[in-house]
Structure 1
Amino acid sequence: MSRLMHTSDWHLGRTLYRHSRDEEFDAVLAEIVSIAQESKPDLIVHSGDLFDSSRSSSREKLRAMRVLDQLAAVAPTVVLAGNHDSPDDFELLRYLTGPARGRGLFFMDRFREPEDGGVLTFDACGGTQRIRLAAMPYVHPNRFWERSMVFGTTHADYAVAMRELQARLTAALFEGHDPERDVLVFAAHVFISGTQPSSRRHKGDCERHYPMSAADLPPVDYAALGHIHAPQPVAGVRAASARYAGSPLQLDFGEAGEAKSVVIVDANPGRPIRVLPRPLTGGRPLATFNGTLEELSARAGEYAGTFLKAVITGAEGDAHLGRKVAEIVPDAVLISAEPAQETSLGSALDADLDEEPDLPDAFRAYLTERRVSSGVAQDAVSAFTHLLGELDEEEPPPVPAEELLRAALADPWTEAS
């Protein structure tokens, strides 16, 4: 029986409202290494977004390499570049730590044709079986942009082009396929339509990188997917199983309450596979409380050890609200403590449906609905009102760059002959 371990979306370097997550990353990555050492997979796949930024620091690269070296000591480890990763950084890491260096690490920096490393084969079960892997790192829509396109790549263009790339990988994956010996895996950093991102913000981020249909995934034994942070299976696929491993930490408040995991996949050629998520508990939970200070006191134990956002009812004008909340839940990292706002966006805009709402009032109502503190909201509304006033002036203030351009056009410089 072949065994695969699937992890994804580490986002090393991510902070939370300027709070470091380093200790949590170290704890949860140690869990992942421990699970690998205990489960002894034949192959480990990281399906993208190793780092949170394409400009990751040397410290984050060192953290990643220390963990990946430990994983590679257990089994060959393939790491796909995600949309947050730098292909150039991955190319450097590929050169420094690739198979030619005997490290057992395979950094997939960008889409590669099958003959250039896009399809890899690994021995499993002591050589009696093989895992054949087709790797699809994140492919930017600009790859498919053509000068003839007035508005750039469309969603439809992207889907068609991606199907063509996948078809080339899939054809090579099945070339020489031995159904009695081979387990086929497709790894990709891609957004599959119909899956559930953790939050609206993440959903918008995913959709900007264009969705793919689940039916487009190739008919393999397992599709190891990255990009969505909520661990979940994918329905409607031709693969025997397809799954997002998800992020190992609750990275933002949209992920609050999510159970994080890595995935162990057991497969025998020609037989149903077994998918077993293994829980990860090293991250600090994220939580939001809504209620009175008295209710928070009664439930304080629930929020110990969390990153906490507190919205307190009946605390309007309490200058010491943050201190009071911190005293009630001393073991929590307090992200914010705000009084509940009574005014809703709907009530502000529905006061007179026959009259267009005043823009500053509408903006103030929006900020209230978003629970922005009163002081910050007032400053923002004041700045907004000032900008509106500038727009209403008949003669707008001069723009320095525009003045320089006018001067240059009035007295063009000509090259001396």
Structure 2
Amino acid sequence: MTRIAVIADSHFDEHSRFDECVRVHQWIADDIRERRVDLVLHSGDVFERKSSPRERAAVADWLRSVARFAPVVIVRGNHDAPGDLALFSKLRAQYPIIVEEAAAVHVVAGVAVACLAWPRKAELAARAPDLDPSDALRRVLLGLGQQLAEHSGPRVLLSHAMVRDSRVSTGQPLVGCDMELGVEDLALANADAYALGHIHMPQEWEAASQPTDRPWYEATAPVIYPGSPRRTAFGEVEEKGYVVLDFENHEPVRVTRITTPCARMLLVSATWEAGALRWDGEHQTPDLIGPLEGAEIRLRYTVRADERVAARDAAVRVEADWRARGAVNVKLEDVVVAMNAARAPEVAKARTLEEKLRALWAARGDVDEDRAARLLPRAHELEEAAS
């Protein structure tokens, strides 16, 4: 049996939850060791953008820890700057670390890995100037498939790619994206499994598999997005992790999704009404949103401009409660609804500033004579200064 771990979309970013990223990836390294994995594949977006020295050092440490137990193959993602990943192939480790920034087949640990980095139109045009970029990409997949057919062991396509009809964390399918591929396009490589990166929500399909050297062999091959190993945005409520593929000869006999212990990122919405926060959704009240240990929460509430102070005070109390329950970060965000200037006919009809203020307070049911005694003399002074 051959066991392969597939990781995707790490997005090491020292400006965004960096400690969480490092912690989760170290957990993955330890888990890979316990599972006795034979090969580790990373399907791109190691970094969030062109990397910094601190980010490169963290990734180097992680890769060295992984390569103590198994070889590693990485393809470049759309967030990875060209050339940023190449240096990791020079790291000294017990097992090799292979980086592919274009398209090639690497045979590692008895597995033929057809690597296809994030396709760039300029690269495809240089490779096949007479073809449309999509047709050029299909030609690349066919070429990789021909090379895979020469191998007698497991055959995997490792790519950072946009698969048509993929879904994001909101459940919405992505359509009409640039340089997207259908499952039928990926199947041109005739791999036994397809390990992909780019979409952060775990999902999978099946592709027809009939290697040219085995015409009697008909099966389906898993097409897998393992998803990101941690949450990178509020609203990613699904479980996060990586995938382990077990092979018997050519055939993938088991696909196991491993859930990582990453922190929750919650987006909670509410509306300020009648002097209280009214929670949007029956399961989003402060008492029902589940365990908060290590969680990061954004509380977004809608409030009228004239009630911002009271709403903010209530939100701060909720924040304190969530932090007491273990949340490590709570962000408060008010969405202000502008007041209508003519809130009541009496306000529009009033002539003096005192009359307008009293009409406004009466319309709001917020008459306070002590406050009026403090504010009205100032109102008179403003009127006199303006006359």
The TM-score normalised by the length of structure 1 is 0.67
2:73 is equivalent to residue 66 of structure 1: no
Tell me which residue corresponds to 2:91.
Answer: 97
Task: Quote how far apart the aligned CAs of 1:301 are.
Answer: 5.6
Tell me which residue corresponds to 1:30.
Answer: 26
Consecutive unaligned residues in structure 1, runs of 5 or more? 113-117, 124-129, 344-417
Identify if the C-alpha distance between structure 1 residues 225 and 297 changes in structure 2 by more than 3 Å, giving closer, same or farther.
closer
Equivalent residue of 1:253, what SS? coil
Bigger share in strand: 2
Aligned 1:116-131 pairs, distance under 5 A: 118-123=104-109, 130-131=110-111
Tell me which residue corresponds to 1:7.
Answer: 7
Task: Quote how far apart the aligned CAs of 1:270 are.
Answer: 4.8
Identify if the C-alpha distance between structure 1 residues 297 and 197 changes in structure 2 by more than 3 Å, giving closer, same or farther.
closer
- Which residue, 237, 244, 261 being the options, matches 1:264? 244
Sequence identity, in percent? 26
Aligned 1:377-392 pairs, distance under 5 A: none
Give the counterpart letter for 2:308 in structure 1.
D
Identify if the C-alpha distance between structure 1 residues 297 and 288 changes in structure 2 by more than 3 Å, giving closer, same or farther.
closer
2:254 is equivalent to residue 274 of structure 1: yes
8 Å CA contact 1:287–1:303 kept in 2: the answer is no
Aligned 1:3-402 pairs, distance under 5 A: 3-13=3-13, 15=15, 20-53=16-49, 55-94=50-89, 96-97=90-91, 103-108=95-100, 110-112=101-103, 118-123=104-109, 130-145=110-125, 157-175=132-150, 177-178=151-152, 182-198=153-169, 203=174, 207-208=177-178, 210-217=179-186, 218-238=189-209, 240-255=221-236, 257-290=237-270, 292-293=276-277, 296-299=285-288, 302-303=291-292, 305-312=294-301, 317-319=307-309, 320-321=312-313, 322-330=315-323, 331-332=326-327, 333-339=329-335, 341=337
- 1:64, 1:199 → 2: CA distance? 29
Task: Quote how far apart the aligned CAs of 1:119 are.
Answer: 1.2
Identify if the C-alpha distance between structure 1 residues 132 and 309 changes in structure 2 by more than 3 Å, giving closer, same or farther.
same
Identify if the C-alpha distance between structure 1 residues 85 and 300 changes in structure 2 by more than 3 Å, giving closer, same or farther.
closer
8 Å CA contact 1:293–1:325 kept in 2: the answer is no
Task: Quote how far apart the aligned CAs of 1:228 are.
Answer: 0.8
Equivalenced residues, count:
310
Equivalent residue of 1:278, what SS? strand
8 Å CA contact 2:64–2:91 kept in 1: the answer is no
- 1:201, 1:251 → 2: CA distance? 18
Consecutive unaligned residues in structure 2, runs of 5 or more? 210-219, 280-284, 340-387
Tell me which residue corresponds to 1:415.
Answer: none
8 Å CA contact 2:263–2:296 kept in 1: the answer is no
8 Å CA contact 1:304–1:329 kept in 2: the answer is no
Identify if the C-alpha distance between structure 1 residues 245 and 298 changes in structure 2 by more than 3 Å, giving closer, same or farther.
closer
8 Å CA contact 1:325–1:337 kept in 2: the answer is no
- 1:282, 1:250 → 2: CA distance? 7
Give the counterpart letter for 2:106 in structure 1.
L
Residues 219-250 of structure 1, C-alpha deviations (whole Å, 9 max, x = no match)? 22111101111111124554511101111111
Give the counterpart letter for 1:329 in structure 2.
W
- 2:59, 2:97 → 1: CA distance? 12
8 Å CA contact 1:240–1:273 kept in 2: the answer is no
Identify if the C-alpha distance between structure 1 residues 65 and 272 changes in structure 2 by more than 3 Å, giving closer, same or farther.
closer
RMSD: 3.1
Bigger share in helix: 1
Equivalent residue of 1:73, what SS? coil
8 Å CA contact 2:166–2:173 kept in 1: the answer is no
Identify if the C-alpha distance between structure 1 residues 306 and 131 changes in structure 2 by more than 3 Å, giving closer, same or farther.
same
Equivalent residue of 2:66, what SS? helix
- 1:172, 1:300 → 2: CA distance? 51
Identify if the C-alpha distance between structure 1 residues 341 and 267 changes in structure 2 by more than 3 Å, giving closer, same or farther.
farther
Greater Cα shift, 195-204 or 220-229: 195-204
Equivalent residue of 2:67, what SS? helix
